[in-house]
């Protein structure tokens, strides 16, 4: 009886051991299937990096279609814009509407293809423009230009602005290459509207259409808000 009991016990122990072995093997297989390899991890990281790069490129080109930066060269717009001043140019506004008189615009001049100039819109399509002893006339009426500190010392006979053209002048009239000497500007050559000055910090501010740029800088506005002692 004792021997029989021992045999049955041994048989039962073997079965239990076999079942445990199968269970352990199944667990190991499950772990192997769910644990990613180094190669899988590397592919995941590479995919995420690629997606980030593609998204960055898309955002960059989207921004470039709306705005761009521009560095002022020279003194043709003094004292409103200065040499080496940096501006943000709005490229979308003129797809939705026409340039207005007084707008400061960036464009490719007809006499210097491939370069960018910055000037102010003076004459719009269909208008008559004339300069008499430095005074600008639009349709025979004198133009009020509070932004001009250095008026022209020249005169220019009356000219008609074409339907797809603009007449532009620099604010520093005697030191500017503009429409008074190379003619009308085709609107298709306009890059965009100079919108904001962002460098140097002392010139931070929007660029107004009908006032000196200094009056729209952050420093000027804060100066008006802070009472003097």
Q: How far apart are CA 104 and CA 169, in angstroms?
A: 10
Q: How far apart are CA 124 and CA 187, in angstroms?
A: 10
What are the tokens at 135?
A: 């005074």
Query: From start to end of the chain, where are the E strands?
Result: 67-71, 86-90, 104-107, 117-123, 128-132, 135-138, 141-142, 156-160, 165-169, 185-186, 190-199, 205-206
Kindly state the helix (H) or strand (E) to which residue 219 belongs, with its residue range.
Answer: helix 218-225
**CB of 119 closer than 8 Å to CB of 105:** yes
How many alpha carbons lie under 13 Å from residue 202 in its C-beta half-sphere?
Answer: 4
Residues taking part in catalysis: 76, 119
**CB of 193 closer than 8 Å to CB of 95:** no
């Amino acid at each position: 009886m004792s021997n029989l009991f021992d045999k049955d016990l041994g048989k039962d122990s073997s079965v239990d051991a076999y079942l445990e072995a199968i269970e352990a093997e199944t667990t190991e297989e499950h772990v192997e299937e769910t644990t990613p390899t180094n190669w899988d991890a590397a592919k995941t990281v590479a995919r995420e990096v690629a997606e980030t790069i593609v998204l960055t490129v898309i955002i960059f080109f989207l921004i470039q279609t709306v705005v761009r930066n521009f560095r002022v060269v020279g003194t043709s717009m003094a004292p409103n814009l200065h040499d080496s001043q940096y501006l943000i140019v709005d490229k979308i506004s003129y797809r939705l509407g026409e340039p207005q008189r007084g707008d400061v615009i960036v464009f490719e001049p007809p006499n210097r293809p491939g370069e960018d100039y910055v000037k102010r819109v003076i004459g719009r399509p269909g208008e008559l423009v004339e300069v008499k002893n430095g005074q600008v006339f639009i349709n025979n009426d004198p133009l009020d230009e509070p932004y001009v500190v250095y008026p022209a010392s020249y005169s220019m006979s009356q000219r008609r602005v074409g339907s797809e053209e603009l007449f532009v002048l620099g604010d520093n009239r005697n030191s500017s290459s503009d429409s008074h000497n190379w003619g009308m500007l085709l609107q298709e050559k306009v890059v965009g509207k100079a919108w904001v000055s962002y460098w140097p910090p002392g010139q931070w501010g929007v660029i107004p259409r009908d006032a000196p740029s200094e009056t729209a800088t952050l420093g000027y506005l804060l100066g008006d808000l802070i009472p003097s002692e």
